[in-house]
Chains A and B, each alone.
Chain A
């Protein structure tokens, strides 16, 4: 069973390139292409794709708003956002709107197939270049940052949450009960002062942690 992908980008050449690239993978097929956010939502409701790849800046309805609508109207589809911008604010907004993948345009050629597979497998995907540009990847003046307050186990759980794993999956991986994973998770969020997963991802990007 191939991964069924819907492409949304207002630039025809970009769509052609992405289509050629994704179709070259044996496990991925592009089932439709649209040129704006509104069409993306309509076609996704019709075709129920596995993954929707969307440009962040589109006429009519932009990628972030379209992702928000897809979350309600087509909950089965995973969303990968394509963007020129690398700020953690952009990534945060995309994840907050329900996207689980964020790929920089210049890296689309090398990363798009991996990103589609990752989000289809329920994980998060983020272009590694974004984490490389993270403002707090290096601690300021050698002072201990918030990351230093986490235990090794908490860091491990943080990494897995950022990658998009559910508590049950994390439990199997680290050999703990789902209940203890939940405890780690809420203690972690409390220590870092965040309340939801998108904020946790934003924090992770700012500090140079990236999924995968």
Chain B
């Protein structure tokens, strides 16, 4: 008999232990899943922001490289033209010195970033000088002099920065002067003031922690913004080692700690094409991640609060189970209570899953209310959300309340005597109205409630982790009643989950805005880059090209005045100078074509595409066919250049990666939109893997965004690639 009596109790207590173990395991798994999702999503966002910052740094570095290249090219042209003129002038004569001096002064005046130009003869004596310094100088001990004297083929020499006697920094750019027989005649040197470049660098917004620098390939600092004159001329080892790692790559990126001020930055460097210079752009890592950090802190706090809440609830449940099982030894097992608890845990789990997968807010709140309503009979749940003005409550979710009622209270202001919800929000504390018909808080809404047969309403404010009010959670009943302990547990669960769901959706909206702003900024950068390229291009065409052509014309006039039979020495020298001038003009033309397609400026997109297809096709040894015709009226300059750059990128990709044999470019014109298609017959790739976008495709996407055009890339392995851009026509 004794054994029989104790039998059921043993079975029950072992079942209780199993239930308790299950609760502990479920709670622990839940906590783990929440933390894992939190960590993964934060890490992913951090990566997105860092690569966006890296792209921004790369775009900036490109702009700076172009500008620097343009400045150095202008100095190079000035030095070459001066050296040429010197050779043309008669060797003797009073006027020679004055003419050369005027020329030097004119060059210094025209190029704002030059401080002085001077010329040394073969012994190193200064024979001309734009500043007319008194006294005689012999500079044969300077490194640039030795370099040019010993190496006729050295070309342009860029010296490390030097501080002048007056304490001003400058960078010497020098070139050898040859006698007609090729022997050493001296050196012409231009002193470039780093301050000019520095001012340009300072005008570029790289943020509070960002830095821009120009260095020599061995890491010697030449120009820096923000200014650090004390470091100019120093070789900065960590950066040098970093740039030196890939010395032959044109550009690269990475993260490192600055040797100058110890700030961790996202760095991008670019070698200035054809010049012994490296441009370095660094964006502050801490600064770039500031927005992310704030969001991350809020999310971590919210998640921790939530995890604590779950643990606490589980602890309550366990304790209750424990006391119940103790009770059940004396009485009977309260199966109904255990079912309720399990249902509560199950409800909690489902609600949390919804929050974790990131469903839209209205859907999450709707499900939450339904789950709460399942836990006990006769409850009608409602969630109201506080508007940004902090005064009005808007409909959030109320799947079971009559629609007429929810519509009537939507948008009401909070305050004393504003029903249960308005008053709870106003007082920032729970408000329990046991009977709507008699409670003064419902004075203004009594008839509305009566019309929909609502008799009791308990409302609790919803707060975020910083105790900012987000909204209210309310339970309505058809008969007057007061809350039980179980109701309070349900309400606590509902408000916590609602708080997390609302906070999460607000933060996601904030992050989305941040990403949109970043994208907008990168679009503006592209515009700045093109404007800058166009203006340097115009400068080259209108001033330098024009002046060199006139110079050549005048030399021709001088030469035609000389006797040709017998030929004079001057005639030969002028002819040689003209050949030099013609090759200089050709170089200027190549620089111009690299900067901005000339046919685009003069004729339009179709002409520019034809010209590019022709020269690029010849370079890569492949026929490129262009179909279409010029648009009348022309597209806006921003759309034209964006479409052109996309085509340029797509052609380069097709030739470089796809090993195409034939490429067709089609420009189609409909009344409202234009379509540009670049199709090749190359190897193609798996278009489904475009998520892992390569650099070229990213560039095309950014260009398409800048032109507000739609870009699509169709490809499959072995089927070739089609890049299609569709831009809506803005009538000009």
Return the contact of A84 from the options B541, B578, B611, B618 (Cβ within 8 A). B541
Q: When each residue 547-575 of chain B gets 1 if its CB lies under 8 Å from chain A and 0 otherwise, what string results?
A: 01110111111001000000000000000
Cross-chain contact A108 with B615 (CB below 8 angstroms): no
Is the C-beta of B582 less than 8 angstroms from some C-beta in chain A? yes
Return the contact of B602 from the options A57, A140, A141 (Cβ within 8 A). A57
Return the contact of B607 from the options A21, A24, A89, A136 (Cβ within 8 A). A89
| CA–CA, A57 and B130, complex, Å | 34
Most chain A CB atoms below 10 A, which of B550, B555, B621: B550
Return the contact of A17 from the options B541, B554, B582, B621 (Cβ within 8 A). B554
| CA–CA, A107 and B553, complex, Å | 8
Is the C-beta of A29 less than 8 angstroms from some C-beta in chain B? no
Cross-chain contact B614 with A206 (CB below 8 angstroms): yes
Q: A105-B549, A107-B582 are in contact. Are A86 and B589 (CB under 8 A)?
A: yes
**A contacts with B: majority SS:** helix
8 A Cβ contacts from A130-189 to B: 135-136, 140-141
Q: Which chain A residues lie closer than 8 Å to B422 at the CB level?
A: none
8 A Cβ contacts from A59-96 to B: 62, 64, 84-90, 93
Q: A109-B578, A136-B618 are in contact. Are A17 and B550 (CB under 8 A)?
A: yes
Q: When each residue 535-551 of chain B gets 1 if its CB lies under 8 Å from chain A and 0 otherwise, what string results?
A: 00000010001101110
Q: Which chain A residues lie closer than 8 Å to B70 at the CB level?
A: none
Q: A14-B553, A18-B553 are in contact. Are A106 and B548 (CB under 8 A)?
A: yes
Q: A87-B599, A90-B598 are in contact. Are A108 and B553 (CB under 8 A)?
A: yes
| CA–CA, A14 and B598, complex, Å | 21
Question: In chain A, what residue has the closest Cβ to B540?
Answer: A84
Interface size class of B (residues with CB under 8 A): 20 to 34
**B583: shortest Cβ distance to chain A, in Å?**
9
| CA–CA, A87 and B585, complex, Å | 14
Q: When each residue 289-315 of chain B gets 1 if its CB lies under 8 Å from chain A and 0 otherwise, what string results?
A: 000000000000000000000000000
Q: A56-B602, A109-B552 are in contact. Are A24 and B560 (CB under 8 A)?
A: yes
Cross-chain contact A89 with B611 (CB below 8 angstroms): yes
Question: In chain B, what residue has the closest Cβ to A21?
Answer: B557
Q: Which chain A residues lie closer than 8 Å to B578 at the CB level?
A: 109-110
| CA–CA, A186 and B505, complex, Å | 72
Please report the total number of A residues contacting B with Cβ < 8 Å.
32
| CA–CA, A88 and B618, complex, Å | 13
Q: Which chain A residues lie closer than 8 Å to B608 at the CB level?
A: 89
Q: Which chain A residues lie closer than 8 Å to B546 at the CB level?
A: 11, 14, 84, 105
| CA–CA, A105 and B581, complex, Å | 11
Cross-chain contact B610 with A89 (CB below 8 angstroms): yes
| CA–CA, A87 and B552, complex, Å | 21
| CA–CA, A156 and B599, complex, Å | 31
**B653: shortest Cβ distance to chain A, in Å?**
20
Cross-chain contact A57 with B541 (CB below 8 angstroms): yes
| CA–CA, A129 and B599, complex, Å | 19
| CA–CA, A20 and B614, complex, Å | 38
Cross-chain contact A135 with B614 (CB below 8 angstroms): yes
Q: Which chain A residues lie closer than 8 Å to B603 at the CB level?
A: 64, 89, 93
Q: A64-B602, A87-B599, A106-B582 are in contact. Are A21 and B541 (CB under 8 A)?
A: no
Cross-chain contact A87 with B598 (CB below 8 angstroms): yes
Q: Which chain A residues lie closer than 8 Å to B541 at the CB level?
A: 57, 84
Cross-chain contact A141 with B614 (CB below 8 angstroms): no
| CA–CA, A91 and B690, complex, Å | 41
Cross-chain contact B550 with A135 (CB below 8 angstroms): no
**A150: shortest Cβ distance to chain B, in Å?**
18
Q: Which chain B residues lie closer than 8 Å to A86 at the CB level?
A: 589
Cross-chain contact B602 with A106 (CB below 8 angstroms): no
Is the C-beta of B259 less than 8 angstroms from some C-beta in chain A? no
| CA–CA, A84 and B554, complex, Å | 17
Is the C-beta of A1 less than 8 angstroms from some C-beta in chain B? no
**A84: shortest Cβ distance to chain B, in Å?**
5
Return the contact of B614 from the options A11, A17, A87, A140 (Cβ within 8 A). A87
Q: Which chain A residues lie closer than 8 Å to B252 at the CB level?
A: none
| CA–CA, A206 and B598, complex, Å | 17
Return the contact of B599 from the options A57, A90, A109, A206 (Cβ within 8 A). A90
| CA–CA, A88 and B578, complex, Å | 24
Q: When each residue 697-723 of chain B gets 1 if its CB lies under 8 Å from chain A and 0 otherwise, what string results?
A: 000000000000000000000000000
Q: Which chain A residues lie closer than 8 Å to B610 at the CB level?
A: 89
Q: Which chain A residues lie closer than 8 Å to B21 at the CB level?
A: none
**A159: shortest Cβ distance to chain B, in Å?**
21
Return the contact of B550 from the options A14, A84, A93 (Cβ within 8 A). A14
Q: Which chain B residues lie closer than 8 Å to A135 at the CB level?
A: 614-615, 617-618
Known: A106-B549, A206-B614. 6 other contacts (CB 8 A): A17-B554, A20-B557, A85-B602, A106-B548, A107-B582, A135-B615
Please, could you name 27 A-B residue pairs with CB atoms under 8 Å apart, sorted by A? Answer: A11-B546, A13-B550, A14-B549, A21-B556, A21-B557, A57-B602, A62-B602, A84-B549, A84-B592, A84-B598, A87-B599, A87-B611, A89-B608, A89-B610, A90-B599, A93-B602, A93-B603, A93-B607, A105-B545, A105-B546, A105-B585, A106-B586, A109-B578, A110-B578, A140-B621, A140-B622, A206-B614
3 A-B pairs closest in CB distance: A109-B556, A135-B618, A17-B553
Chain A: residues with CB nearer than 8 A to chain B?
11, 13-14, 17-18, 20-21, 24, 56-57, 62, 64, 84-90, 93, 105-110, 129, 135-136, 140-141, 206
